[in-house]
Structure 1
Amino acid sequence: MAKIIPFKAVRPTRSKVGLVASRSYDSYTLDERDSRMSYNPYSFLHIINPGFKYDQKLTGEERYRLVRNRYLEFKEDEVFIQDDKPSFYVYRIEDRFDQVFNGIIAASSALDYEKDIIKKHEDTLEKKEKLFKTYLKTVGFNAEPVLLTYPDNAVIKDIIIETQDAFPEYEFTMTYRDTHYLWKIEDETKIQAIQKEFETINTIYIADGHHRSASSYLMSKDDLANEKKSYNFFMSYLIPESDLRIHEFNRLIKDLNGLTKEEFLIQLDSIFRIENRGELPYHPSKAHHFSMYLDGEFYSLYLRKTIYKFENELEKLDAQVLYKTILKPILGIDDLRNDERIKYIHSRNEAVTLKTEIDSGNFKIGFGMVSATIHQMKAIADAGLKMPPKSTYIEPKLRSGLTIYEY
């Protein structure tokens, strides 16, 4: 039984929402951030990068306190307003690739995270969890929802469609040519109907935001949770599984771990059927087929299934196959999170970026694969297993500052 509740969101005014909303902080290059903050005083980036005002790089709790100050200034200047009534928020994204995402922004239960009703498929770093918990407690708000996915539900879908018949609170297009819409659901009957349907759902899955949900759970275990009921929930964007889009991350490696090209290919031959495709790009089309780019040539790699054993759902995942057969035993990359010899690029940029990075000499070799499926992600989570880092690039990518959940 998944529990979600409405909340009184703090939101940008209608006239400024397109200026306030931003992509996640880490998705910008330094030059992009500086440019946007220089010409747009309303960007949410000013809140999460408060040192820009003083031309200083701030870290730790000093930065957190100034984030809080910038946030309060946006409220004082009435760039942000708070809704009078607890609401659910229907959020629709139409991106430049003609993909459409429809879901509900709500507050999800931290207890559901503890009880494994909200399931995880990725590992989290304890240090990062604690840092973000401190951040949330200091700034007093969360501005980017955790992306959760649930089995398609006809009742919830009908309520979303009916809500979208009305004039939206927001309709704006970003410079990336994605258009965003937001509607409020304040009607008690509809709120209760949505809650009732989620109570029939035994499991929902984290698609993106594992550290944010883990940090929120840590806050719920804090002594203050008894006094601040808001600590027991965290902001989430819940979308049906059919709306979720999963892409792959491809891998770039700086060297061949001391091997010559010929020595490397010979070791590879015992595990894969290898075909040199020359300069013609090769994109794998099925599971356990991989692409490889090395010394200006593309290769196809087909896993020899008599050699590799699929012992569980995780072992069937191509990111795990690549790690177990090439990255760790041949190229010597054990720590996929921290080894500086490996870089991940998502498949949106795969064709150009992979070839350019290797041809320029920044990296020696690159690997591509097909994307994981929602069924794999769920099966791995259900088995209590964890994917390797950067196994999935999941869409939609949400905007910060569109709705804010205060603690």
Structure 2
Amino acid sequence: MAIVKPFKAVRPTRAIVGLVAARPYQSYTVNERESRMEYNPYSFLHIVNPGYKYDQEVTGKERYKLVKNRYLEFKEDGIFVQDEKPSFYIYKIVNRYGQKFNGIIATTSAEDYERDVIKKHEDTLAKREQTFKTYLKTVGFNAEPVLLTYPDNDTIAKIIRETQKGHAEFEFTMTYRDTHYLWKIDNKDTIATIQKEFEKMETIYIADGHHRSSSSYLLYKDEKGRNPSHNGTESYNFFMSYLIPESDLVIHEFNRLIKDLNGLTKEEFLIKLDEGYRIENRGLMPYNPSKPHHFSMYLDGEFYSLYLRKTNYQFKTALDALDAQLLYKTILRPILGIHDLRNDDRIEYVNGKHEMITIKSSVDSGEFMVGFGMCPSNVQQMKQIANEGLKMPPKSTYILPKLRSAITIYEY
């Protein structure tokens, strides 16, 4: 039984929401951030980069306290206003490729996370979890929802369609040419219907935001332990999420770039590859794999196709059948000596929205020696891995939609 709850969102005013909303802080280069803050006083980047006001870098807890101050200033100046009634928020994104994403911004339960009603498919780093937990506790708000996915549901889909016939609270287009729409649902009967439909679901799945959800869970555990009057209704029991149906989720792959051949010559490397793969030289024309367990490779100015010799590899779990895991177990670890996919600086990742020509140019530049391309995984693979209690390797999926910060804000 999945628990979702409405909440009183803090939101930018309609007139400036497009100026306030921002991509995640880490996705900007330093020059991009400074340019946006210089010319846009309303950008949420001013809140999460509070040192800009004093022309200096501020880090750690000192930065978190200043983030809270900037946030309160935005509220005092009327840039942010809190809704009076608990609501669900129907949120639609149409990106520049014409892909449409429809879902509900709500709060979801930290207890559901603990009980594995909200399932995970990626490992998290303890240091990042603790850092973001401290951040949430200090600033007292969360401005970017976790992306969750649920089985397609006719009743919820009908409510979303009917709501979208009405006047949107927000409608704005960002510089990346994606258009965002927001509708508010504060009708008690409609809210109850949505909640009942989610209560029928045994599980929902984290698509993107594993660190944000795990940090919110750690905050919940801390606050629950400190509160002798805990009753389960406190704000820390929940975290903000954007829930979309599985059919709306788009998954791209992450391709791999490797800086060296682990001391092997090109010929030695190809011979070792031949033990596990049937190799075909595709020449100068970019090659993309067409089905799972096949890879493309760019090496020394030429493209290759790699076809797994299945007699040498057993699929015992859903994770074994995942291409990112297959590449790691058969090539990256045993041949190229890459054991730590998160921290080894010999490997870099390129999301699959970029074509193999990006792999080619990166290798041709001399920065990398070899690149691998793969097919994207799918929702069913992601769910099966989560259901088996397994975790994907890092950078196994590049999932859309990518959300903006500060369109709705949840206060703890």
Q: Same fold (TM over 0.5)?
A: yes
Task: Specify the SS of the correspondent of 1:367.
Answer: strand
Output the amino acid matched with 1:318.
D
Aligned equivalent of 1:261: 266
Could you tell me how far 1:353 is from its partner in structure 2? 2.3
Aligned equivalent of 2:152: 152
Distance 1:378 1:384 in 2: 10
Q: Does 1:374 align with 2:374?
A: no
Task: Specify the SS of the correspondent of 2:148.
Answer: strand
Could you tell me how far 1:327 is from its partner in structure 2? 0.3
Distance 1:100 1:66 in 2: 36
Aligned equivalent of 2:164: 164
Aligned equivalent of 2:337: 332
Equivalent pair of 2:287/2:356 in contact (CA under 8 Å): no
Output the amino acid matched with 2:208.
D
Could you tell me how far 1:352 is from its partner in structure 2? 3.5
Which of 295, 298, 303 pairs up with 1:293? 298
Output the amino acid matched with 1:391.
S
Greater CA drift, 157-166 or 46-55? 46-55
Greater CA drift, 376-385 or 353-362? 353-362
What does the per-residue CA deviation read over 1:150-195, in whole Å, with 9 as the maximum and x for residues that have no partner? 0000000000001001010000000111000000000000000000
In the TM superposition, 1:211-360 aligns within 5 A as 211-222=211-222, 223-224=225-226, 226=230, 229-360=234-365
Task: Specify the SS of the correspondent of 1:400.
Answer: coil
**Moved segments of 4+, more than 2 Å:** 223-228, 350-353
Could you tell me how far 1:224 is from its partner in structure 2? 4.3
Q: Does 1:46 align with 2:46?
A: yes
Equivalent pair of 1:250/1:350 in contact (CA under 8 Å): no
Greater CA drift, 181-190 or 27-36? 27-36
Equivalent pair of 1:156/1:194 in contact (CA under 8 Å): yes
Distance 1:51 1:279 in 2: 49
Aligned equivalent of 1:394: 399
Distance 2:213 2:104 in 1: 17
Output the amino acid matched with 2:47.
I
Task: Specify the SS of the correspondent of 1:370.
Answer: coil
Specify every segment of 5 or more residues in structure 1 that has no aligned partner in the other structure, as ranges.
Answer: none
Distance 1:337 1:13 in 2: 40
Distance 1:36 1:266 in 2: 51
Which of 370, 382, 388 pairs up with 1:365? 370
TM-score of the two chains, using structure 1 as the length reference: 0.99
Q: How many residues align?
A: 407
Aligned equivalent of 2:9: 9
Equivalent pair of 1:64/1:135 in contact (CA under 8 Å): yes
Distance 1:306 1:45 in 2: 53
Equivalent pair of 2:356/2:373 in contact (CA under 8 Å): no
In the TM superposition, 1:184-199 aligns within 5 A as 184-199=184-199
TM-score of the two chains, using structure 2 as the length reference: 0.98
Specify every segment of 5 or more residues in structure 2 that has no aligned partner in the other structure, as ranges.
Answer: none
Could you tell me how far 1:350 is from its partner in structure 2? 3.3
Distance 1:220 1:204 in 2: 19
Greater CA drift, 352-361 or 93-102? 352-361
Distance 1:362 1:30 in 2: 22
Equivalent pair of 1:291/1:299 in contact (CA under 8 Å): yes
Question: Percent of pairs identical after alignment?
Answer: 71
What does the per-residue CA deviation read over 1:372-395, in whole Å, with 9 as the maximum and x for residues that have no partner? 010000000000000000000000
Could you tell me how far 1:30 is from its partner in structure 2? 1.6
Could you tell me how far 1:53 is from its partner in structure 2? 1.5
Distance 1:71 1:340 in 2: 36
What does the per-residue CA deviation read over 1:273-313, in whole Å, with 9 as the maximum and x for residues that have no partner? 10111110000010000000111111100000111111111
Equivalent pair of 2:286/2:357 in contact (CA under 8 Å): no
Task: Specify the SS of the correspondent of 1:123.
Answer: coil
Task: Specify the SS of the correspondent of 2:358.
Answer: helix
Aligned equivalent of 1:22: 22
Could you tell me how far 1:37 is from its partner in structure 2? 1.2
Distance 1:45 1:178 in 2: 19
Task: Specify the SS of the correspondent of 1:349.
Answer: coil
Output the amino acid matched with 2:40.
N
Task: Specify the SS of the correspondent of 1:257.
Answer: coil
Task: Specify the SS of the correspondent of 2:392.
Answer: coil
Task: Specify the SS of the correspondent of 1:138.
Answer: helix
